[in-house]
Amino acid sequence: MSHKIEFILNGKSVCINTNANRRLLDILREEFQLTGTKEGCSIGECGACTVLMNNKAVNSCLVLAGQVNGSEILTIEGVAKNGLHKLQENFLMAGAIQCGFCTPGVIMSSYALLLENSNPTEEEIKEAIAGNLCRCTGYKQIIKAIKDTIS
Amino acid sequence: MIPDLEYIRAIDLNDTLKILDVKNGKVKVLAGGTDIITGLQQGFSRFAKIYKLLDIAQLNELKSISINEDSFEIGAGLTFSEIIANNNIATAYPLLVKAASTIGSVQIRNRATIGGNIINNAPCADSLSPLLVYDASVRIQSNKGAKEVLLKDFLSEAYRTNLEQNEIVTHIILPKILKTYIGDFYKLGRRRGVAISRLSLTVLIKCEKQIIEDLRIAGGAVTPVAMRFTNIEEMGIGKKVSNKLLISLSQEIGRKVLKVTGLRWSSAYKLPVVQQSLYQLLVNVCKKLNGTNVA
Ligand code: FES
Ligand code: FES
């Protein structure tokens, strides 16, 4: 069944018609070609699909199209709107990226953390990115990159 | 892939109840979706006959928290993040908040609701053992009115509750707990973070001059449905705290779990772990009790 959904995407109002069984992840990648948001596990375990929904980190593979209606969505493309964000620069500097598949999700989780808490402890950083799996870099560099962004 | 379905967004609680009445049995209520959407995606059989979803996630009526003279009422639509962030809940029911903060990841806790955790009634649902220890009830509403049912009577079998098709759970009611109660929550997963429980235990004790006046023990993931271990509680109540007593209570939990689940391939591993976990938990809680020393 087709639905009309309206929401704010990276600061702009958008409106599309879509089937109810599509997920926010599908809409971002297929309707808006925002392919920075990745699909890993599709069941809420890897965090590669993390975006911000009303300023909170969520797995976009677990949000149905209809649930997006009226919300505000921020993706990695929105974070990098005016050139690389400080978090992204620090990820590059700290060597926190290898294949890069997990990176947009980790950045979105870190971004959400910093929105809520501008000076998180190492424990708080670990908790914020616990739902993001990285299979190459290792978390040390990732945590360093986030810490460098705070100071 | 998620099968084709119809999505309906409820306007308010009244609207929800009306739709549930009209579409009796054919519509599944959706809140955070962390169980339903993953279940649909993986084609789990218990979600096989879902064609219509009724979204109640945005209903403010299900997000209220009220503090009454003798109880707290927590909206079933509150996410675990919202529960963790609420200072009143954290002060009054610290074990619920401790359990809530071990559920999934930040992303999951930002969507998953406490009502959903109860309705889904997974054996490993982490909020259930603290809720049981706090003697929680659920408020159930339908077009015909509202009623309150004790959580322990509401959870029927794994992944099932006694909720009728035209009803929804609107609130969780927690009786006030005296400050003299001390307790703890323990969860064992396959790894430290973002893990599904293999075992969870909640203990709450009230002690006066080393004598146990009240003892409450509940477990999750060790039995098909989260439950209170009332016979072990009774064994402890009225007794003086001693290492011997804690050992015998912990041994008993192994026997009880074996009775409920039958002998399984995992029993040889699980039973000693359950026993040891309960023992450690009891020792830790007793240490926190003023002037009580476990020799
Ligand atoms: S793709 Fe969404 S959490 Fe893995
Ligand atoms: S950089 Fe490859 S998964 Fe993280």
Nearest to B217 by CA among B158, B274, B159, B260: B274
Who among B6, B7, B110 is closest to A56 (CB)? B110
Nearest to A1 by CA among B3, B161, B222: B3
* Co-location of B139 and B189 in the same domain: no
- Using CA atoms, how far apart are residues B247 and B278, in angstroms rounded to an integer? 9
Ligand closest in space to the Cα of A59: 1
* Co-location of B103 and B149 in the same domain: yes
B59: three-class secondary structure by DSSP:
coil
* Co-location of B75 and B145 in the same domain: yes
* Co-location of B282 and B190 in the same domain: yes
Interface of A with B (CB under 8 A): 1, 3, 19-23, 42-45, 47, 50, 53, 56-59, 61-67, 69, 109, 112-113, 126-128, 130-132
pLDDT band at A138 (very low <50, low <70, confident <90, very high): confident
pTM: 0.93
CA dihedral B276, B279, B281, B286 (to 10 degrees): -160
Contacts of B37 in chain A (CB under 8 A): 23, 44, 61-64
A136 CB under 6 A from ligand 2? yes
Amino acid identity at B214: D
- Using CA atoms, how far apart are residues B117 and B76, in angstroms rounded to an integer? 9
Determine the distance separating the centroid of ligand 2 and the alpha carbon of B256, expressed in angstroms: 45
- Using CA atoms, how far apart are residues A78 and A37, in angstroms rounded to an integer? 11
Query: How many distinct structural domains can be found in chain B?
Result: 3
Indicate the helix (H) or strand (E) that contains B206.
strand B199-208
* Co-location of B89 and B171 in the same domain: yes
Q: For residue B284, give its domain range.
A: 181-288
β-strand B181-188 against B168-175: which pairing, if any?
A: unpaired
Q: What is the pLDDT of residue B274?
A: 84
Q: Which of B115, B149, B175 is the last residue of a domain?
A: B175
**Sequence-separated contacts (24+) of B269-274 with Cβ below 8 Å:** B270/B198, B270/B199, B270/B222, B273/B188, B273/B199, B274/B199, B274/B201, B274/B219, B274/B222
Tens of pLDDT, residue by residue over B167-219, are 999 999 999 988 889 999 988 766 656 666 668 899 999 998 889 999 999 98
**Nearest chain B Cα distance for residue A128, angstroms:** 6
CATH number at residue B268: 3.30.390.50
Residue B294 lies in a domain: no
Q: Over 90: is that where the pLDDT of B259 sits? A: no
Tens of pLDDT, residue by residue over A11-32, are 999 999 999 999 999 999 999 9
Q: What ipTM was assigned to the predicted interfaces of this complex? A: 0.96
Atom of ligand 1 nearest to the CA of A41: 4
A42 CB under 6 A from ligand 1? yes
- Angle at alpha carbon of residue B278, lines to B272 and B280, rounded to 5°: 100
Tens of pLDDT, residue by residue over B261-279, are 666 666 667 778 888 888 9
**Nearest chain B Cα distance for residue A90, angstroms:** 22
- Using CA atoms, how far apart are residues A68 and A4, in angstroms rounded to an integer? 11
- Cβ neighbours for A110, distance < 8 A, ≥ 6 positions apart: A87, A125, A128, A129, A146, A149
Residue B70 lies in a domain: yes
Return the DSSP state at A66: H
Q: What is the pLDDT of residue B124?
A: 75
Assigned token pair, B29: 């209520």
- Residue B191 has a CB neighbour count (10 Å cut-off) of 8
Residue B47 lies in a domain: yes
Assigned token pair, B134: 């706090």
* Co-location of B42 and B92 in the same domain: no
A93 CB under 6 A from ligand 2? no
Q: What is the pLDDT of residue B24?
A: 66
**Nearest chain A Cα distance for residue B123, angstroms:** 19
CA B72 from chain centre, in angstroms, equals 16
Mean pLDDT of B249-258: 82
- Using CA atoms, how far apart are residues B67 and B174, in angstroms rounded to an integer? 10
Tens of pLDDT, residue by residue over B121-161, are 887 778 999 999 999 999 999 999 999 999 999 998 888 99
Q: Which of B148, B175, B202 is the last residue of a domain?
A: B175
Domains of chain A (ranges, CATH numbers): 2-77 (3.10.20.30), 86-150 (1.10.150.120)
Query: How many residues comprise chain A?
Result: 151
* Co-location of B26 and B68 in the same domain: no
* Co-location of B205 and B253 in the same domain: yes
* Co-location of B90 and B42 in the same domain: no
Q: What is the pLDDT of residue B267?
A: 67
Yes or no, beta carbons of B110 and A128 under 8 Å apart: no
A138 CB under 6 A from ligand 2? no
Tens of pLDDT, residue by residue over A105-133, are 999 999 999 999 999 999 999 999 999 99
Residue B293 lies in a domain: no
* Co-location of B69 and B50 in the same domain: no
How many A×B Cβ pairs under 8 Å? 93
Nearest to B282 by CA among B208, B185, B213, B210: B185
CA dihedral A147, A148, A149, A151 (to 10 degrees): 90
Nearest to B78 by CA among B185, B169, B195, B177: B169
Residue B295 lies in a domain: no
Burial environment of residue B179 by CB neighbours within 10 A (0 to 12, 13 to 18, 19 or more): exposed
Indicate the helix (H) or strand (E) that contains A56.
strand A56-59
CATH number at residue B166: 3.30.465.10
Burial environment of residue B1 by CB neighbours within 10 A (0 to 12, 13 to 18, 19 or more): exposed
A50 CB under 6 A from ligand 1? no
* Co-location of B71 and B139 in the same domain: yes
Phi-psi region of A43 (alpha: psi -120 to 50; beta: other; left: phi over 0): alpha
- Using CA atoms, how far apart are residues B120 and B118, in angstroms rounded to an integer? 6
Q: Which of B55, B73, B92 is the last residue of a domain?
A: B55
- Angle at alpha carbon of residue B153, lines to B152 and B155, rounded to 5°: 70
Residue B1 lies in a domain: no
* Co-location of B161 and B72 in the same domain: yes
- Using CA atoms, how far apart are residues A2 and A30, in angstroms rounded to an integer? 16
Q: What is the pLDDT of residue B48?
A: 83
